[in-house]
Structures are given as C-alpha cells and as structure tokens.
C-alpha cells in the first residue's frame, strides 16, 4: 500500500502559518468591536468569502448532491450559522486570550459528540483527557469567583456549535468532496445569516467592509494552510503547535487592546491544550494500528 511521505517540519511550518492567519482573524474582528451588529458582521464576512469562491462555484454547483447530503448540509449550516453569530458577539466583549483559549475546547466536544452520536469508542484514557480539558475551562472561567459576561456564554455556545458543525462535516465527508462541502457551507451560512443581518442592519463604511473582506481572506488562507499541514504531518505533530495561538493572542491583547495578562486563563488554556494534544496523539496511535491491520 502506498503511503504519503511524512514531513513533520513542513507540517509544523504550515500549522504556524495557520495559527497566524486565525489570530489575524480574531484581531480584526475584535478591532471592529461593536461598530457593527454581530449578525451583520458575520453576514458581510461570508459574502466576502463567497466572492473568493466565485471562480470555482459554477463547477461545484453542477455537481450532483444526494438528498442525504443536502440534509446534512442544511443541518451543518444551521449550527454553523448560530456559531458564527455567537462568535462575532463574543469577540467584541471578552479578552482575546480568553476567546482563543476557550476555542480549544472544540476538539474535546467533537470527541464527546463522536462517541455519543457517531458510535466511536471513547477509551478510558481519552475520557480522562476530556475531564482534564473541562477542568481547564473551570480554571479559566472561575465561575463563582468572578462575574461571567454574556460574551463568555456566547463563546461557550459558539465553541459547542462549531463542534456540532464539525461532526456533521465528518458525516458529510463520505457523501461529497471537500470543495463541495466548503462551498455549500459558505452558501448556506450566508443565506442563514441574511435575515438576522437585515433585522439589525446599519450602513457599513467602506473601511468596515474592507476589514471584513480581510477576515475572509485570512480565514480562507488559514483553512488552506491547515489542510497542507494535515497532508504532510500527523495531527499528533501539528496539534501542539496550535498552542502558540494563545501565546500570540496574549501578546497582541496586551500590545493592541491593552488587555492585562490573566495567568489563570493562560494556565487553563495550557491544561486544555495538553488534553487536546493527548487526544490527538491517541487518535494517531489508533489509526496507525488500524493501518497495520489492513496492511496485514
């Protein structure tokens, strides 16, 4: 059986670029703050994303899609739409480092969802890692010891909804090609955001539109570099690199937004990241074992 060449350093390089792209997305969205309502900002960002997809959309639209795939696309789009609105709302209201650290919980929710809804086995060691990740969230948020804002709850909801969207993406992977899945998500989410954006619409400035187009560019580039990273190195190598996003978020939060460094957030984020890295490593080990069985 032919195997793809593994290049860990190349994978780390591409994942570093991924982190920079996604931190740039966070910084731009936070810089816009509450100058535009969250649904409208999200809508304009996805319209810009569709513009970037225009060269490939005709070919994708002509691709036949089964009824089952259409249902999965619709369900994924529903949860992704809710997640995007909540995320834009949260980014304007909580520190950059907290938003970044809380987003690390998405793979943990995916792991739990895959066990409960997709029938994947959740071994004891992975379950312990999930438990430590949840402890990391409690360390970070410290409920009962400080007041949590609506932004914190919105970010928790966004992270959970993104995880549900990813679970539908896993189901969709066997039905359509990745390009069709990406384009379909962009179309469905844009349509889903439209009525919410219309309800709160305020005239945007050219500068705001330009910055949101920049969000679309960096987000698209981030997904591309992530795909390149996964193509040349196992996730057990690339996943720990994503912790640098928290480092950059802390630094940029201080330099750009004047946010104080919260040691509890950094420590909680580290606990979550170690847990997520362990889960990724265990998944890589299991995949290698399955590959050996198939080769035999």
1 falls within a domain: no
Q: How far, in Å, CA of 200 to CA of 85, rounded? A: 12
The confidence score (pLDDT) of residue 269 equals 84
Q: What is the DSSP letter of 173?
A: T
Inside any domain, residue 22 = yes
Give yes or no for residue 287 having a pLDDT over 80: no
- Asked whether residue 2 is domain-assigned, the answer is no
For the chain, the domain total comes to 1
Question: What is the structure's pLDDT at 284?
Answer: 66
Q: Is 144 exposed, middle or buried (0-12, 13-18, 19+ CB in 10 A)?
A: exposed
**196-225, pLDDT tens digit by residue?**
999 999 999 999 999 999 999 998 888 888
Q: Is residue 233 part of a domain?
A: yes
Task: Kindly state whether residue 51 falls inside one of the protein's structural domains.
Answer: yes
Residues 6 or more apart whose Cβ sits within 8 Å of residue 277 = 236, 239, 240, 243
- Percentage of residues of the chain with pLDDT beyond 90: 28
Per-residue model confidence as pLDDT tens digits over 6-63: 677 888 888 889 889 989 999 999 988 878 999 999 999 999 988 888 877 776 667 6
Q: Which residues pair with 143 in a beta bridge?
A: 146
Q: Tell me how far apart the alpha carbons of residues 193 and 42 are, in angstroms, rounded to a whole number.
A: 7
3-state secondary structure of 143: strand
Measured between alpha carbons, how far is 128 from 138 in angstroms, rounded to an integer? 15
pLDDT of 180 > 70? The answer is: yes
Q: What is the mean pLDDT of residues 77-98?
A: 92
Q: What percent of the chain has pLDDT over 70?
A: 89
Which residues have CB under 8 Å from 110's CB, separation 6+? 163, 166, 167
pLDDT of residue 74: 93
Looking at residue 232, its pLDDT comes to 77
Domain limits at 252? 8-295
Q: Which pLDDT tens digit goes with each residue over 53-62?
A: 887 777 666 7
Vertex 251, ends 245 and 257: CA angle to 5°? 110
Helix axis angle for 96-103 and 8-32, nearest 10°, is 130
Give domain status of residue 3, yes or no. no
Instruction: Give φ, ψ of 37 to 5 degrees.
Output: -60, 145
Sequence-ordered strand ranges (E) for the chain = none
Closest CA to 115 of 233, 282, 227: 282
The rounded mean pLDDT for the chain is 83
* pTM, two decimal places: 0.82
Split at pLDDT 50, 70, 90, the class of 295 is: very low
Give the integer Cα–Cα distance in Å for 200 and 271.
39
Q: Is the pLDDT of residue 66 over 50?
A: yes
**pLDDT at residue number 211:** 93
Q: What is the pLDDT of residues 227-276, one digit of tens each?
A: 788 777 776 677 677 778 888 888 889 999 898 888 888 888 888 888 87
291 pLDDT higher than 60: no
For residue 6, what are the contacts with CB-CB under 8 A and spacing of at least 6? Answer: 232, 233, 234
């Amino acid at each position: 059986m032919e195997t793809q060449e593994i290049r860990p350093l190349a994978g780390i390089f591409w994942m570093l670029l991924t982190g920079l792209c996604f931190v740039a997305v966070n910084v731009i969205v936070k810089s816009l703050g509450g100058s535009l309502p969250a649904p409208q900002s999200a809508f304009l960002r996805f319209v810009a994303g569709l513009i970037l997809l225009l060269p490939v959309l005709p070919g994708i639209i002509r691709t036949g899609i089964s009824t089952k795939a259409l249902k999965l696309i619709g369900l994924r789009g529903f949860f992704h739409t809710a997640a995007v609105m909540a995320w834009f709302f949260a980014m304007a209201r909580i520190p950059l480092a907290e938003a970044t650290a809380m987003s690390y919980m998405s793979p943990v929710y995916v792991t739990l969802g895959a066990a409960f809804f997709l029938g994947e086995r959740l071994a004891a060691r992975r379950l312990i890692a999930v438990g430590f990740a949840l402890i990391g969230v409690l360390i970070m948020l410290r409920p009962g010891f400080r007041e949590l804002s609506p932004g914190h709850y919105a970010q928790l909801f966004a992270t959970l909804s993104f995880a549900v969207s990813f679970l539908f993406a896993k189901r969709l992977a066997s039905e359509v090609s990745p390009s069709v899945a990406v384009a379909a998500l962009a179309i469905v989410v844009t349509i889903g955001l439209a009525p919410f954006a219309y309800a709160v619409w305020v005239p945007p400035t050219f500068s705001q539109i330009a910055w949101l187009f920049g969000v679309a560019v960096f987000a698209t580039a981030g997904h591309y570099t992530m795909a390149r990273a996964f193509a040349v190195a196992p996730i057990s190598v690339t996943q720990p690199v994503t912790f640098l996003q928290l480092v950059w978020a802390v630094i940029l939060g201080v330099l750009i937004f004047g946010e104080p460094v919260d040691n509890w957030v950094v420590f909680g984020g580290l606990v979550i990241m170690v847990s997520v890295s362990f889960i990724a490593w265990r998944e890589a080990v299991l995949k290698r074992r399955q590959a050996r069985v198939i080769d035999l």
